[in-house]
Structure 1
Amino acid sequence: MNCTIKPTIFLYHPAWWNSDNPKVPLWAKAEIERVPTGRDLLVPTVRCDSRPMGPYKGTNPVVYHGACIFMGANRVYTMYRSDQYRGEVAQHIWDAFHDNKDTRPPKYDDFGVQVKKEVPGNYDAPLRLADGKPNPASRPLTRITDDDVAADGFKRRGKNKYWTEMGCKIWFPGWVDQGKQCDEFPFRSTREGPGDGEYVNLKWILYNNASVRPVTTSHNSMAGRDLWLFYARYRVNRTSKFWVSVKDQPPR
């Protein structure tokens, strides 16, 4: 079930008076997000749904059975490198954002020269580069589900899972014996994950704008649980856009 809240008021202020239509909507369409400065300028839409969401599957209970969000608000998942329970994952994402030529797998141009990856989802990145062009790092991530299928007919989450594990096997042999889990960024639950690419001449060509790395199992598990809680609280459903912000430590 979904609903949208769109209240109205009857406005009789002299500056905005309209005897033919004193009725003023307080909420706009989702694509119109503006702070009102007069009766003709509208404010954001509130969207509500009753979808059960949370980090649990099977017979375990979900955490949220519905919520309301402001459609125009940016949804940002924040992590901290100093976090003693999730810090390894936060550091991995930080490196993917800032030092990604040292992350694996490397990216090469058509001449075999290693180049910097264009890892998206960085909420703290400037919107534009020095030359004025849009900054690829500031592009949002897009949530996917098990129902999302790529142009070659294979599921996107499956591609992300395959290339995450393949990357760790190639670049970090022995990681399973070390009791670690293979972490990926962008997340497996996003379109931009390690399996993202395009279908060209009956071949799937990877964009290779992602990073994989073995991390301590407990860090990966806690970070994964928190991500699904973030999805539930901020109603990040299929096709929803969101960003990630990695800080050194929480504010005091």
Structure 2
Amino acid sequence: MGGKLEFYKGSCIFSAAKRVLVLRPWNFDYGQVARHIEKAFTQPENTVPFKSVQKHIPGNWNAPKGTPERDPLTRIDSQSNRYNQNTKAKNLVCEEFFADRPRKKNGAPEDEWQQCDEYPFASTKEGGAYDHPQYGKDNFSVQAVLGTHNSTAGGDLAVFYARYRVLLGNKFWVAVQ
């Protein structure tokens, strides 16, 4: 048998069903990522990169309907130029604000290594490089988190994409509960 995502081949799509990735802040395996996204939703002004005007971070299933924060995220191809631009934007912020995070480069123990998590995800049109027609740039958040949490959350996102058939160009949301 092939990789674990082959398990999700076939089936059908209910186009009226909402695709919502649910994250739990208390989760032992990825809680730091969930808490980062929760902070991006509830305190965007306290996230980096800083912005001189109000940040509008999209994808929040729990935001009031009709607000820019409730706008869905749109999945993109991880081989696309946009994905690479999103990753570059995240890395620039990461090095500016979290260059001293524990990692191999500065001799930290492996179980303390941190990576920079970004929200919205690099795999979305609304990621770090997105320039919103009305709200401009920098409507994203970067936070240093344990590498194990970031990796687990990334794996869970891939499973969510497969399980809920979130294909390229499909819309989805995130709920932190």
**Same-fold status (TM-score > 0.5):** yes
How far apart are 1:167 and its partner, in Å?
A: 0.5
If the length of structure 2 is used for normalisation, what is the TM-score? 0.87
Q: Which runs of 5+ in 2 are unaligned?
A: none
Counterpart position of 2:18: 74
Q: Is the 8 A contact 2:86 2:127 kept in 1?
A: yes
Is the aligned partner of 1:192 residue 2:126?
yes
Aligned residues: 166
Is the aligned partner of 1:62 residue 2:5?
yes
Residue of structure 1 aligned with 2:37, choices 93, 100, 105: 93
Structure with more relative contact order (C-alpha pairs < 8 Å, separation 6 or more): 2
Residue of structure 1 aligned with 2:162, choices 232, 239, 252: 232
**C-alpha offsets along residues 27-75 of structure 1, whole Å, 9 cap, x if unaligned?**
xxxxxxxxxxxxxxxxxxxxxxxxxxxxxxxx85633222312011100
CA radius of gyration, larger in: 1
Separation in structure 2 between the aligned mates of residue 62 and residue 122 of structure 1, nearest angstrom = 26
Separation in structure 2 between the aligned mates of residue 135 and residue 198 of structure 1, nearest angstrom = 14
Is the aligned partner of 1:116 residue 2:59?
no
1:1-252 equivalence runs, <5 A: 60=3, 62-63=5-6, 64-108=8-52, 115-127=53-65, 134-146=66-78, 148=80, 155-175=81-101, 176=103, 177=106, 179-197=113-131, 207-247=137-177
Q: Which runs of 5+ in 1 are unaligned?
A: 1-58, 109-114, 128-133, 149-154, 200-205, 248-252
**Any runs of at least 4 consecutive aligned residues in structure 1 with deviations exceeding 6 A, and if so which?**
none
Higher deviation after alignment, 206-215 or 75-84 = 206-215
**C-alpha offsets along residues 131-156 of structure 1, whole Å, 9 cap, x if unaligned?**
xxx300000000000454xxxxxx10
Structure with more strand by fraction = 1
Q: Is the 8 A contact 2:59 2:69 kept in 1?
A: yes
Percentage of matched positions with identical amino acids: 41
Q: CA RMSD in A?
A: 2.0
Which letter does structure 2 place at the counterpart of 1:71?
Answer: S
Which letter does structure 1 place at the counterpart of 2:171?
Answer: K
**C-alpha offsets along residues 166-224 of structure 1, whole Å, 9 cap, x if unaligned?**
1010011222445211100000100000111279xxxxxx6110001110011001111
Separation in structure 2 between the aligned mates of residue 60 and residue 139 of structure 1, nearest angstrom = 33
Higher deviation after alignment, 160-169 or 174-183 = 174-183
**C-alpha offsets along residues 215-240 of structure 1, whole Å, 9 cap, x if unaligned?**
00110011110010000000001000
